[in-house]
Amino acid sequence: MHTVVVGTSGVTASDVLAVARGGARVELSGAAVTALAAARGIVDALAAKPDPVYGVSTGFGALATRHISQELRAQLQRNIVRSHAAGMGPRVEREVVRALMFLRLKTVCSGHTGVRPEVAQTMADVLNAGITPVVHEYGSLGCSGDLAPLSHCALTLMGEGDAEGPDGVVRPAGELLAAHGIAPVELREKEGLALLNGTDGMLGMLVMALADLDTLYKSADVTAALSLEALLGTDKVLAPELHAIRPHPGQGASAANMLAVLRGSGLTGHHQDDAPRVQDAYSVRCAPQVAGAGRDTMAHARLVAERELASAVDNPVVLPDGRVESNGNFHGAPVAYVLDFLAIAVADLASIAERRTDRLLDKNRSHGLPPFLADDAGVDSGLMIAQYTQAALVSELKRLAVPASADSIPSSAMQEDHVSMGWSAARKLRTAVDNLTRVLAVELYAATRAIELREGLAPAPASQAVIDAARAAGVRGAGPDRFLAPDLAAADAFVRGGELVTAAEKVTGPLR
């Protein structure tokens, strides 16, 4: 099994995906263990002094003014975990929880948190055992870290609360730890706080969303090309020289992908046939501009994610010169903004795909295709309601595009009076990515059927490869009305699993 080694300088997006989705094992580097021990020595020295130090010998948040005596400090750390494990609502997905735990371990191993090496090792052991704490949907405001989600994870390290075992069964965490030979941790000064104070949940969801969107944006280029063919559009608007004079990188990449898919098509360039037109509609002609802008948004989001992956997010932090300093690095604004930005781009990409689908179904705008791509219009409704479903998804995506980060709700007796709502931004982006997949699946379903209805005109080799692969995957073609939901589910799986892109790339080579 693949192993990810966590050092002192952060991790990569591929590391996160390997652990969260691939079940990779986690190991601590020698340098990380050394850094952990050194930082812990600083915390122990401060803990022995009479002077109050936030997070070491004081309360937290609005209660930070109270000095905590040595005999109560272990109880303080246990209490912060127990009281902050206050999540509610549905369970969060396993891959999100694994990303959350792994990214907290990443910060712990930086040597800036003061956590003992044995606590970090227990975090790795829990991940390697396939134990997944039960984390709930609500409880994070995205400031002072993803507090409730991280607290539920820390509770598992203490052997308390509930967790899911590798068999998928939820059991008391203490039983699961014992079954895997893992001793619960007894938290000491600062450790409870250090396990809760990070942007790890929202960052993990950002990393996974970017991975999913990388495939979906390629998928959108393919479905847009198929729709262009089905509408007898022109590929002249995709010429590299046109995009070179407006040099947005994403736009150029999207246009190049569409052009690669359309190479050799017998369906393009029929503008002056039976229904002459000078230009294609915006939803066809401007596909690279819209998809390209989303790609460039992803590039910015990826840069933010990379910086955050290299960060040590905690409060207070242990500095190499021995200081333990309070700071605001836990604030989720940098991550929250790009999560919201991506939700806007996703909504717009889905919106333009839906407009192309609607055009394919409208006999007044489809340039010779039957109404709703029906076999016997009137007797058959064809894809009329498939487009309704797609429109409902797009409407939902527009609501999900309303930014969470523009909101703030004060907490902790006005001590934490401006929060990022980054966790909420991440949760709605996950839904948006899921719905975009379905929207593209409907466009794929309509476009492949429409191409097959263009009798006597041959699609591009890449388009034919996509159609053949889709049919083999259970995405059925034209014919009389039938129970449509299974066909749409097959199309969804075809897009979601990356088979759409794979089929096109067998002809085009790697898409950008």
* Residues forming the active site: 54
User: 90 burial class (0-12, 13-18, 19+ CB within 10 angstroms)?
Assistant: exposed
354/361 Cα distance (integer angstroms)? 11
Three-state SS for 22-48 is CCCEEEECHHHHHHHHHHHHHHHHHHC
User: Rounded distance, CA 460 to CA 350, Å?
Assistant: 24
3-state secondary structure 426-438: HHHHHHHHHHHHH
Q: Is 326 left (phi over 0), alpha (psi -120 to 50) or beta?
A: beta
**Cα(449)–Cα(480) distance, integer angstroms:** 12
279: left (phi over 0), alpha (psi -120 to 50) or beta: beta
Helix (H/G/I), strand (E/B), else coil: 325: strand
Residue positions counted in the chain: 512
Residue 248, CB-side half-sphere exposure with 13 Å CA sphere: 17
Measured distance CA(474)–CA(490) in Å, rounded: 6
233-241 contacts, C-beta under 8 A, 24 or more apart: 233/268, 233/271, 233/280, 233/284, 233/285, 234/268, 234/269, 234/271, 234/280, 235/259, 235/262, 235/265, 235/268, 235/269, 236/269, 237/280, 237/285, 238/262, 238/288
How far apart are alpha carbons 205 and 211 in whole angstroms? 10
Separation of alpha carbons 201 and 142, rounded Å: 9
Q: In angstroms, rounded to a whole number, what is the distance separating the alpha carbons of residues 266 and 232?
A: 9
